[in-house]
Amino acid sequence: MNHYPQIFFPTNLNRDTDTQKVIKKPKQKLTYFLIGINSLAFCYSISQNRFEGLFITIIFSLILLILASLKNKKRVVKTPTKKKYRLKSTPAEIYYPNQRRGISEDILLKHLALEFEDLIVFDRIIEKFRNAKPYQPDLILHDPKSGIWFDIEIDEPYEIYSRKPIHFINQNGISIDEKRNKYFLSKNWVVIRFTEAQVLNNPEGCKAIVGHILFEVLGYQGFKKYASQVWHLVPESAPWSKAQSEILAKNNFREKMLRKYNQKLKLDRQLSKKASY
C-alpha cells in the first residue's frame, strides 16, 4: 500500500550512463619471479668474478625495475554509473477534450506552468477504446527531447455530485486504479499521483516533487534546483478504503475543504489589493 504522493516508473526504464574510475592492482607474480632469478645470477657473477655477466645482470635489473614501476601504476577501468534515464514513451497524439479538470487540477496546472510551461500538453490521449472511455490523465507533461511522457493524477475520495467513492483501495489493499496505472506504465509513462488535499494545501510542494522527478528522469541542469530531496514538503497521506470514502462523503469532506480554500483565496486577493494601494 503506497502512501501519497505515489510515483510509478516503468519497469523497463533504461538509464543512460556516465563513467567513474575503478582502481585495480595488476598481477606482478612474473615480475617478482624474474627479479629473483636475476638476483641469483648477480650473486653468481660476483662469486665467479665474471664482470661481463655482472654488467648484463645490472642492465637486466634496471629493465626489470622500470617494468615493475610501470606495472605498479594502478589500472583505471571505466564502469557505468547513473546519469539520466533514457526511455521513449508511447505518445499521446489523439485530441480528446478533457472535461474532468476541476479546481485542484487547475491549481496545480497554474503552479507547474510557472516552471514547466514548455512541457505541458493539453487534451490528449494515447488511444481510443471501442467499448470504454479512454484513459486520460488529469495533467500531462511531455519532454520532446527525450520522448518521455508523464501522467499526473489528482485523486479525490468521492465524486461531488454522485457521492460515488473513487480512487479507493479494496479489501486486499490494492488500488482500484491499479489497471489504469499499469496501462500507462506499459506505455512507458511515468505516473505521479497526489491527493486533492495535498494539492490544495501545498501546491508549491507538489510542484517541487514534480520538479524532483523531472530532474531524476531527464537529468537536465535547468531542473538542478530540484535535485535535493523534497518529499518532506508534502506530508504523506494514506490511501482510503471504500468505507472511508463513504464516511468522507457523508461528512462533506471535499465541500468543506474546497470552501475553506475559496475563503483563503478571497482573503489572499483582498490582501494583495490592499498591498497594491
Q: What pairing do the DSSP bridges indicate for beta strands 124-125 and 120-121?
A: unpaired
Q: Are 165 and 246 in contact (CB under 8 A)?
A: yes
Q: Are 142 and 118 in contact (CB under 8 A)?
A: no
Q: Are 125 and 134 in contact (CB under 8 A)?
A: yes
Q: Are 154 and 108 in contact (CB under 8 A)?
A: yes
pTM of the model: 0.73
The set of residues, in sequence order, having a beta carbon less than 8 Å from that of 163 and lying 6+ positions away, is 249
In tens digits, what is the pLDDT along the chain, a chain of 277 residues? Answer: 579 999 999 987 655 444 344 444 445 555 555 566 666 665 666 666 665 665 666 676 667 667 666 655 545 444 444 445 566 899 999 999 987 788 999 999 999 999 999 999 999 999 999 999 999 999 999 999 999 999 999 999 999 999 999 999 999 999 999 999 999 999 999 999 999 999 999 999 999 999 999 998 888 888 888 988 788 889 999 999 999 999 999 999 999 999 988 887 776 666 565 555 4
Q: CB atoms < 10 A from the CB of 180, how many?
A: 16
Element housing 153 (H / E): strand 148-155
